[in-house]
Chain A
Amino acid sequence: MSTSGASREAVIEIRNLSKIYRDFWGRKKVRALNSLSLDVYKGEVFGLLGPNGSGKTTTLKLLLGLLFPTEGEISILGEPASNVSKNERIGYLPEESYLYRFLNAEETLDFYGRLFDMPASVRKERTEKLLDLVKISHARKRQLKEYSKGMTRRIGLAQALINDPDLVLLDEPTSGLDPLGNRDMKDLILDLKKQGKTILMCSHLLADVQDVCDRIAILYGGELKVLGRVEDLLKSQNQTQILSSQLTPAALAEVEAVLKKHDASFQVDHPTASLEELFLRTVQESKERPGHRLVTPDSKSQAG
């Protein structure tokens, strides 16, 4: 279980975080986040889901200190968000790759490497490795303004990993990628996880999330609606289905006992809904019953 004591060390702690966007005159424009509280633990892949405009990007920006919270507290890697030195251990892939379009791929990576105060030899080595990893070595000398969307995404990912970060924040990592790139990205995320890194990603692509995330949160209108382990969330709690044909519930115990006795392999499981279903249901319910928080096993323990 990934919820063992050691790995429950929180890398990101968000408490009652609210964000109101104001215009130049200080007038309230949008309430983008409302009293959000969540933790991201060391070594897990955490997915932040929600419809467009639900506050996912805003959350990431608050975590990075790009925006200042209206209320609430953030601790990231044990530091306040406004402390720049925390960035030493963070990699961030923005929603769109906001890079300098007049630089080429090599220069880009070298530039960001220098921002980490890396010596030239290390930068060179990392650059080579990352260009290979994201598969744009062939275009290394071309200026980014000539890049296609997917290529820009790839170089964006490369710059996020330049410092071999402990915590990776990915804002819609798979947007703009071809199916192959999509696959690679998922493999990469799982690989990073294997290396013991913590990953927080935003996404709409539920299939991706389902594949890679350990836990997810669903935001709607700046409020947390669902929070929990993917497996738990996708299990229907009030049904039991035996993946075996024509067995009565009473017979099940018997069958189980029998099976146990005979030491044969068997599977008893709850049927899983797809994440898409959960997502749509959450959004639908949130629309109908504003302010209501769906209860999940994990969220209960969080609230306490």
Chain B
Amino acid sequence: MDFDPTPFNFAAAGINWLLIVGVCLGLMTVVSLLVMAGSRGTRGLTMWTDEVGLMASDLVSLSPRRIFALSQLTFREAIRRRALLVFVVFGILFMFAGWFLSASTLAPEFQVKVYVTFVLRAISWLILPVVLLLSCWGLPEDIKQRSLHTVVTKPARRLEIVLGRMFGFAFVGTIVLVVMAVVGGFWIKRQLPAVAQEQLTCRKPVFGYLAFKDREGNDAAKGINVGDIWEFHSYIEGATKARAIWTFINLDASVLDSDGNLRLENRFQAFRSHKGDMKRALYYQYVLVNPQTGLRVPIPLKTVNEFRGRTDIIPRKLGKVAEASPAAADEAETAAAYDLIDDLVSKEAVVDPETKNVIYPAGTMLVEVLCIDPGQYLGMARPDLFIRTPDLSFWVGYVKAVLGIEMMLILVVVLSVTASTFVKGPVATLLTFCLVIIGQTAREFMAKIVNNEEAGGGVFESIYRLVKHMNPTTDLPEGTATTVMRFVDSALVNLMWLVYNIIPDFSFFTRSLSYLSNGFDVNVATAVYPGLAITLGYFIPCVLLGYFCLRTRELEAK
């Protein structure tokens, strides 16, 4: 799990969107003009302009009442045709799922993870196919039954028909989703064993920046590597001057929990180079430091809770114990002498006297971590210690995750309805299904092709290499053949670029799921807005495309 969600760059996405939509519109204009001119000559061109004029006038004469009527029709159709039998499947699934999910041997937080993941995955994997099928078959059936004839011979614009279908199916899907989410929520609450209940929460972490001091006390970018192949965690040696130092910025009293305590949650690893005292876990100690005043307040020792992590509660009013001494385990604190916020959080920025660069901004506190046991090691990476600000209710995160599914559902509806304006039900289903699957799985691979990161060149070049048994990295002989081949390949890559950009990235919608199942909150800007932006980004061109297709086809054609 990445702990700092990569922010979604709305501006860049917007520009990219404009580019793609522009390219597609341009292609459509050119192709339609060519077709019209090719089939009917100059008369075709006047017909083209007339048609474009009529389309534009349709765009501005939309009526909310008609759109609402068409959406309601779609909704009624789904209800009265008993499309919602999916609830029954859902219900059955949940009745029996409990048997297989009895994960009571796992630690509570893993139980939460199992249950939450199961519920949300079940919801999305049940709801997406239903919505996909419903919305892929709706319009084609309407055309086949010719009931659409009666609608299009009323002043209903075909754009309104597309919109009505989309809204209607989205509404159906939303209702199904809400019911499922409520049932799923109750189910989690009821099925989850009592011990795991309190793990149902949304932690809001404040992460710091991690730096190290080596055993001599010099600054270091990393700690020691104890032999992990995967060098994610760095280790500090016990009973030396080695320290891990987290810099937390932008702190004030709002990071304290409801009782006014600071909660530091860690997930340190222990590495023993000798047995030591096997009866207890390794000791570590926090030392809180105000970078402005240099005040250091050591906290009584704690023991590492390996693999599970622990939340240390540090009272706002602090006494003091000895620093870096095993005695700090038993020795009583002095009477409360410091205030965590007032004394330990810097009030002014610390500036380098020579370069005038700000080293620590105002509102900074350092948390040094040291290992007490000699010859033992404590391992950590940046996300292994964070300030746990007041938790949000688990249900806040649950709602965000459900909203993510909702956006995905709407996108699927939009794609399906669009597909169903130009192909029949089964083909539309297949098409949308492929889009969803590719969007979920193959985008990374496509990105590699588009960015020319795959060795061996494009389609023709790689076929050539295959036939010639050439290594993908050997150079091709220079010559016109190679040039032509490369030219065609680069044209294909450009096409691929378009396809790559047209296929939606579904990973954005389920982002918040992994946070939620691990008990973390993720802010709305990461959990919901990107999904919203993507859905909207598809909605607009899809509506236009669907309208175009429906308008330019004879509804008679079977």
Is the Cβ of A98 less than 8 Å from the Cβ of B76? Answer: no
Q: From the candidates A61, A82, A99, A143, name the one contacting B556 in the complex (CB within 8 A).
A: A61
At the interface with chain B, which of A63-71, A210-218, A273-281? A63-71
Is the Cβ of A66 less than 8 Å from the Cβ of B149? Answer: yes
Q: CA separation between A103 and B556, bound complex, in Å?
A: 23
Distance (whole angstroms) from the CB of B35 to the closest CB of chain A: 12
Query: B residues 302-326 with Cβ under 8 Å of A?
Result: none
Distance (whole angstroms) from the CB of B24 to the closest CB of chain A: 24
Distance (whole angstroms) from the CB of B551 to the closest CB of chain A: 8
Is the Cβ of A100 less than 8 Å from the Cβ of B147? Answer: yes
With a CB–CB cut-off of 8 A, which chain A residues contact B77? 100, 102
Per-residue CB proximity of B527-558 to A under 8 Å, as 1/0? 00000000000000000000000000011110
Is the Cβ of B66 less than 8 Å from the Cβ of A66? Answer: no
Interface size class of A (residues with CB under 8 A): 20 to 34
At the interface with chain B, which of A83-91, A189-197, A284-292, A293-301? A83-91
Is the Cβ of A88 less than 8 Å from the Cβ of B155? Answer: yes
Are A117 and B555 CB-contacts (below 8 A) given A83-B54, A98-B145? Answer: no
Is the Cβ of B73 less than 8 Å from the Cβ of A98? Answer: no
Q: Within 8 Å of chain B (Cβ to Cβ): is A94?
A: yes
Q: CA separation between A96 and B147, bound complex, in Å?
A: 10
Q: From the candidates B58, B150, B557, name the one contacting A94 in the complex (CB within 8 A).
A: B150
Is the Cβ of A112 less than 8 Å from the Cβ of B155? Answer: no
Query: A residues 205-252 with Cβ under 8 Å of B?
Result: none
Query: B residues 357-412 with Cβ under 8 Å of A?
Result: none
Q: Give the A-B contact count at a CB cut-off of 8 A.
A: 85
Q: Within 8 Å of chain B (Cβ to Cβ): is A159?
A: yes
Q: Within 8 Å of chain A (Cβ to Cβ): is B157?
A: yes
Q: CA separation between A96 and B69, bound complex, in Å?
A: 23
Are A114 and B66 CB-contacts (below 8 A) given A67-B554, A88-B155, A102-B76? Answer: yes
Query: A residues 53-85 with Cβ under 8 Å of B?
Result: 61, 64-68, 80, 82-85
Is the Cβ of B554 less than 8 Å from the Cβ of A87? Answer: no
Q: Is the interface of B mostly helix, strand, loop or mixed?
A: helix
With a CB–CB cut-off of 8 A, which chain A residues contact B105? none
Is the Cβ of A115 less than 8 Å from the Cβ of B556? Answer: no
Are A67 and B556 CB-contacts (below 8 A) given A84-B58, A99-B150? Answer: yes
Q: CA separation between A107 and B150, bound complex, in Å?
A: 15
Q: Within 8 Å of chain A (Cβ to Cβ): is B468?
A: no
The chain A residue sitting closest to B66, CB to CB, is A115
Distance (whole angstroms) from the CB of B50 to the closest CB of chain A: 7
Distance (whole angstroms) from the CB of B168 to the closest CB of chain A: 13
The interface on chain B, measured as residues whose beta carbon lies within 8 A of the other chain's beta carbons, has a size of 36
Per-residue CB proximity of B31-46 to A under 8 Å, as 1/0? 0000000000000000
The chain A residue sitting closest to B70, CB to CB, is A115
Are A82 and B154 CB-contacts (below 8 A) given A100-B73, A102-B76, A102-B81? Answer: no
The chain A residue sitting closest to B152, CB to CB, is A66
Q: From the candidates A68, A92, A111, name the one contacting B69 in the complex (CB within 8 A).
A: A111
With a CB–CB cut-off of 8 A, which chain B residues contact A64? 152-153
Are A117 and B146 CB-contacts (below 8 A) given A102-B76, A102-B80, A111-B69? Answer: no
Distance (whole angstroms) from the CB of B522 to the closest CB of chain A: 42
Q: Within 8 Å of chain A (Cβ to Cβ): is B104?
A: no
Q: From the candidates A82, A83, A88, A94, name the one contacting B149 in the complex (CB within 8 A).
A: A94
Q: Within 8 Å of chain A (Cβ to Cβ): is B454?
A: no
Are A117 and B157 CB-contacts (below 8 A) given A66-B555, A94-B149? Answer: no
Distance (whole angstroms) from the CB of A156 to the closest CB of chain B: 8
Is the Cβ of B155 less than 8 Å from the Cβ of A92? Answer: no
Q: CA separation between A84 and B62, bound complex, in Å?
A: 12
Q: CA separation between A115 and B150, bound complex, in Å?
A: 11
Q: Within 8 Å of chain A (Cβ to Cβ): is B156?
A: yes
With a CB–CB cut-off of 8 A, which chain B residues contact A68? 554
With a CB–CB cut-off of 8 A, which chain A residues contact B54? 82-84
Is the Cβ of A85 less than 8 Å from the Cβ of B556? Answer: no
With a CB–CB cut-off of 8 A, which chain B residues contact A94? 146, 149-150
Is the Cβ of B150 less than 8 Å from the Cβ of A92? Answer: yes
Q: Within 8 Å of chain B (Cβ to Cβ): is A266?
A: no
Distance (whole angstroms) from the CB of A256 to the closest CB of chain B: 53
With a CB–CB cut-off of 8 A, which chain A residues contact B554? 66-68
Q: From the candidates A66, A80, A102, A116, name the one contacting B154 in the complex (CB within 8 A).
A: A116
Query: A residues 103-158 with Cβ under 8 Å of B?
Result: 103, 107, 111-112, 114-117, 143
Is the Cβ of B155 less than 8 Å from the Cβ of A84? Answer: yes
Q: CA separation between A88 and B154, bound complex, in Å?
A: 7
The chain B residue sitting closest to A91, CB to CB, is B153
Distance (whole angstroms) from the CB of A298 to the closest CB of chain B: 29
Is the Cβ of B51 less than 8 Å from the Cβ of A82? Answer: yes
Distance (whole angstroms) from the CB of A103 to the closest CB of chain B: 7
Per-residue CB proximity of B137-171 to A under 8 Å, as 1/0? 00000000111111111111110000000000000
With a CB–CB cut-off of 8 A, which chain B residues contact A97? 150
The chain A residue sitting closest to B150, CB to CB, is A98
Distance (whole angstroms) from the CB of B38 to the closest CB of chain A: 13
Q: Within 8 Å of chain A (Cβ to Cβ): is B65?
A: yes
Is the Cβ of B73 less than 8 Å from the Cβ of A111? Answer: yes
Is the Cβ of B151 less than 8 Å from the Cβ of A115? Answer: yes
Per-residue CB proximity of B457-470 to A under 8 Å, as 1/0? 00000000000000
Are A117 and B66 CB-contacts (below 8 A) given A66-B149, A102-B81? Answer: yes
Chain A interface residues (CB < 8 Å from chain B): 24, 61, 64-68, 80, 82-85, 87-88, 90, 92, 94, 96-100, 102-103, 107, 111-112, 114-117, 143, 159, 163
CB-based closest 3 A-B pairs: A114-B69, A115-B154, A102-B80
List 8 A–B pairs whose Cβ atoms lie within 8 Å, in order of A's numbering.
Answer: A82-B51, A84-B152, A90-B153, A94-B149, A100-B147, A102-B77, A115-B69, A115-B70
